[in-house]
């Protein structure tokens, strides 16, 4: 029930925004994760590495999809 309501609200929003904009948002979020991970890695290696890895995967995934 709740998932149908969420899809009903989010579907028009997702369809209205072009894929390039979503990709740009993901690239910026990935860059922010990489930057945050670089600062956090001194305090906690696991958390920093997870943030850096997630950011690299996000940015890399978008760049690969744009290249195709």
Give the whole-angstrom CA distance, residue 64 versus residue 68.
6
For the chain, give every domain's residue range: 18-67
Does 68 score more than 80 pLDDT?
no
**Residues 52 and 33: beta-carbon distance below 8 Å:** yes
Summarised one tens digit per residue, pLDDT across range 20-67 is 888 999 999 999 999 999 999 999 999 999 999 999 999 999 989 888
Is the dihedral angle over the CA atoms 58, 17, 21, 47 positive or is it negative? negative
């Amino acid at each position: 029930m709740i998932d149908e309501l969420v899809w009903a609200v989010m579907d028009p929003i997702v369809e209205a925004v072009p894929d390039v904009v979503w990709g740009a948002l993901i690239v910026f979020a990935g860059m922010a994760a990489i930057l945050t991970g670089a600062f956090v890695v001194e305090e906690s290696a696991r958390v920093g590495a997870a943030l850096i890895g997630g950011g690299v995967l996000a940015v890399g995934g978008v760049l690969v999809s744009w290249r195709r």
